[in-house]
Structure 1
Amino acid sequence: MRNRHALALTLATAATLAAVPAALPVAAATPANSPAAKAHCPQLSKKLTWYGDNRDRLQQMIDERGRCGSHRGHDQKRPVAAFDWDNTVAKNDVTDATIAWALHHDKILRPATWKSTSKWLTDEADRALTAACGTDVPVGAPLPTSTDTACADEIFEVREDGKTMSGAAAFAGEWDHRHTVPQYAWVPQLFAGHTVKELESYAAKARKEALAAPIGATQKVGTHEIPGYIRYYEQQRDLIRTLKKAGFDVYIVSAGSEPVAEVWAGGKGGVGIDRKHTIAIRSVLDRKGRITTWNQGCGDVPVNQGEAIPYIDGKRCWINQEIYGVKGKSAWDKQDWSHRIALGGGDADTDVTFVGDATGAHLVLNRNKSEFMCRAYDNADGRWVVNPMFIEPLPRKTDPYPCSTAAYNEHDGSKGPVLREDGSVVPDQADSVF
């Protein structure tokens, strides 16, 4: 089992895999595929509502790729399913819930300087945070954010929108916009000085409050109003359970802090995904076991300050590295058919690359994110499964997605056209599943 908090990750030597065709194999016409045999295969619940024929399409993939289909022998590598977490497996953002709880309970420790928390933090943000939170509290002591509205506001605004309360950019400089986003990387950096167990306890307490709050509830963080409730999607819980019964290895791949994702994914009331199968931002710990502002790296990016988190192409890198043992620069590349996941599930542009890499089904919860929905509605391989959010779905987006001009997130942060693998441009797409 991996040591998720080691300074450098040691990957097991990748097992030699049998060659697999570059197209989805169709299960042979054997008794295992007969109606009578399939009646004994793991089945998705018919009591839970899916959009259109999505349940049947997912069930077909499970039947074809699981233990009742191509994965029948113990000599084959288990098929893999991977899911984003926030707004994919659970409604609303567990990272925001954890930060809110921490701010309500004075759990953010004052850094020596705010600039030290992120390599990209601007002078304007440093001054705004220093002015709002003050310098009276000793370095390393808790900030009184439960009563200091200005301090809580400034911290949450930087996290939420990448800006100060006055509207100045909180982050600046150069980064690959398909490998990271500084305000996401800043979340575990905010908890520098805490142990992993402390952060897990904050996430657990936030989880208890969010699950107890009624659907639609809100909460205040400073003057910010954010969702106050979180719910596991029962359809996704059932899908994960069915996949596991059918012989799939199921992973969570999140752009949040790994201890927070682990609290929600595993344990009592979770979805049965353990630490080994949870991938998120992994903080480097100091000699006393406390979180630092440094993260473990991926591919050819070593230990870093946020340059390579599980974000857009970064999610592919982490899947390739952690699940398939791909090392070095190649971990950023799309792999051959036998080294890709069978099912990917997500809700936002941060998920578009790894979900698109799936060979069996690309499950999309529609949150009106342009690049992701362009891929989904273009449906180039016929395997994209689009579903409205199961709780409080968004209304239809009235304007077409600008796929042909400005939906793709370029590496430099600009916007461009979404291209198919053959280089052709995806035409603008109308929103049709809502």
Structure 2
Amino acid sequence: MRYRHVFAWILVAAAALAAAPPADSSLRTNCPRLSGSWYGDNRARLQQAIDEWGTCTGHTGGLPQALGPARAGRTPVVAAFDWDNTVTKNDVTDATLAWALRHDKILRPASWKATGKWLTDAADTALTAACGTDVPVGAPLPTATNTRCTDEIFEIRAEGRTMSGAAAFAGDWNHRRTVPQYAWVPQLFAGHTIPELTSYARRARAEALAAPVGATRTLGTHTLPAYVRYYDQQRDLIRTLQRAGFDVYIVSAGSEPVTEVWSRGVGIDARHTVAIRSVLDRHGRITTWNQGCGDVPVNRGEAIPYIDGKRCWINQEIYGVRGAAAWQRQDRRHRPAIAAGDADTDVTFVGDATGAHLVLNRNKSELMCRAYDDADGRWVINPMFIDPLPRRRDPYPCSTSAYNAPDGSKGPLREADGSIVPDQEDAVH
């Protein structure tokens, strides 16, 4: 952390302490305590945020007095977590899609091109050739045995390209609001009902939890993790936050029915799980349309919980902010106190947090630049709890190409005052 940031944080902390009630040790002992193994002093720093913001402190609404009585104003004290590779090791949407492909659960669409707004002619041609036209429209594709079809679907999902290397998606989209291959996964389940997709996710979950750590499987010609694990530390953190009076939410760029199956395992219900929400037809079947956010109405994937989209969905679903304002950073009483993520898709909402920004280091440039820059002194960096990545050898390119621009280009990452964030060394791994 640079010296100017240390000094700024000392001033903020001093102001908060001056406005707070007289010191009372009982305020701290009332709060539940974190357990488990964390990197460095991270557990103590997270505990400090819980003590500072939780309703267990005796402060008004759990907020420092300097920030005002949020609870009295009926604003909840919120903690928000990304899901995949933040609460669990490995991606639960991929686990569910892999299970579905191995059990012939993808229904043949009338047109592959119609399944995704930005799907290219090359992708449409590749999918049609690989998956064939013998199966009637609406019937299950034999992906368990037709490895060409499985390969094309999974390559497009994972890499955004066909098996021949052609771009699978093209056109214009806001790269801070969506990524086409993420939006495409719920669209692949068009024709199914929510209970059907939920049942697939449950069976995939049981299989992934039973597989040993480190296990892989072959899907077509792709090799992918066969296991998923809940991080014990994150499960304990979520439980502790709930006991401390926080409203804890999951905000994921995965399919919402799938994420809901997994979030129940850490005590978070469907109402507190926000992910890609498919529009249903009059028979209750999933369509290729998604519910909208902010000033974006029902759409084909333009506004999913992705980078700035996560902020929008938090503002809309948790704080009731409507219209274009949902895309904007809100005042401190209408932002999460604690937020956690692992990738660039999480950088906006994790950065919005007012008490602690928890980051699991997966070497994602924009997020790690923000974390190591540590502008407010509240960024908490932890290696992944299972199979952490080694140290990145080169500095993160914060000053040149870490920022993901809306048009898809890369550029320098900037501070709130417009100055450029300097390159950062990878120190927590």
TM-score (norm 2): 0.93
The CA RMSD measured in Å over matched residues stands at 1.4
Cα distance, 1:220 vs structure 2: 1.1
1:58-93 CA distances to partner (integer Å, 9 max, x unpaired)?
000000100233325863533100000000000000
AA aligned to 2:28 is: K
**1:247 and 2:245 equivalent?**
yes
Cα distance, 1:37 vs structure 2: 4.7
Identity %: 75
Alignment partner of 1:79 out of 77, 80, 87: 77
Alignment partner of 2:49 out of 35, 41, 61: 61
SS in 1 for 2:381: strand
Cα distance, 1:39 vs structure 2: 2.6
- Aligned 1:259-278 pairs, distance under 5 A: 259-266=257-264, 270-278=265-273
Partners in 1 of 2:72 and 2:301 — Cα distance? Answer: 39
AA aligned to 1:59 is: Q
Cα distance, 1:29 vs structure 2: 4.4
- Aligned 1:4-403 pairs, distance under 5 A: 25-26=16-17, 28-30=20-22, 33-34=24-25, 36-45=26-35, 48-69=36-57, 70=59, 71=61, 75=72, 77-266=75-264, 270-403=265-398
Alignment partner of 1:410 out of 401, 405, 417: 405
AA aligned to 1:83 is: F
AA aligned to 1:100 is: A
- Kept after mapping to 1: 8 A contact 2:395/2:426: yes
Partners in 2 of 1:78 and 1:316 — Cα distance? Answer: 16
**1:420 and 2:410 equivalent?**
no
Which deviates more, 392-401 or 64-73?
A: 64-73
- Kept after mapping to 1: 8 A contact 2:336/2:354: yes
AA aligned to 1:68 is: C
1:78-131 CA distances to partner (integer Å, 9 max, x unpaired)?
310000000000000000000000000000000001001011000000000000
Correspondence for 2:7:
none
- Kept after mapping to 1: 8 A contact 2:56/2:245: no
Correspondence for 2:5:
none
SS in 1 for 2:294: coil
Partners in 2 of 1:65 and 1:172 — Cα distance? Answer: 44
Cα distance, 1:304 vs structure 2: 0.1
Aligned length: 406
Partners in 2 of 1:290 and 1:149 — Cα distance? Answer: 27
Partners in 2 of 1:28 and 1:209 — Cα distance? Answer: 50
1:28-71 CA distances to partner (integer Å, 9 max, x unpaired)?
3446x40x5523321101xx110000000000000010023332
SS in 2 for 1:362: strand
| Structure 2 alignment gaps of length 5 or more | 1-11, 63-68
Partners in 1 of 2:72 and 2:352 — Cα distance? Answer: 24
Correspondence for 1:17:
none
- Kept after mapping to 1: 8 A contact 2:177/2:305: yes
- Structure 1 runs of 4+ off > 2 angstroms? 22-31, 36-40, 68-78
- Kept after mapping to 1: 8 A contact 2:31/2:50: no
Which deviates more, 339-348 or 63-72?
A: 63-72
1:162-193 CA distances to partner (integer Å, 9 max, x unpaired)?
00000000000000000000000000000000
Counting helix residues as a fraction of each chain, which structure ranks higher?
A: 2
SS in 1 for 2:369: helix
Partners in 1 of 2:56 and 2:402 — Cα distance? Answer: 39
Correspondence for 1:7:
none
SS in 1 for 2:72: coil
SS in 2 for 1:255: strand
- Kept after mapping to 1: 8 A contact 2:116/2:288: yes
Alignment partner of 2:428 out of 416, 427, 433: 433
Partners in 2 of 1:375 and 1:297 — Cα distance? Answer: 28
Partners in 2 of 1:62 and 1:37 — Cα distance? Answer: 11
TM-score (norm 1): 0.92
Correspondence for 1:11:
none
Which deviates more, 74-83 or 240-249?
A: 74-83
AA aligned to 2:406 is: H
Partners in 2 of 1:29 and 1:68 — Cα distance? Answer: 15
SS in 2 for 1:385: strand
Partners in 2 of 1:315 and 1:41 — Cα distance? Answer: 29
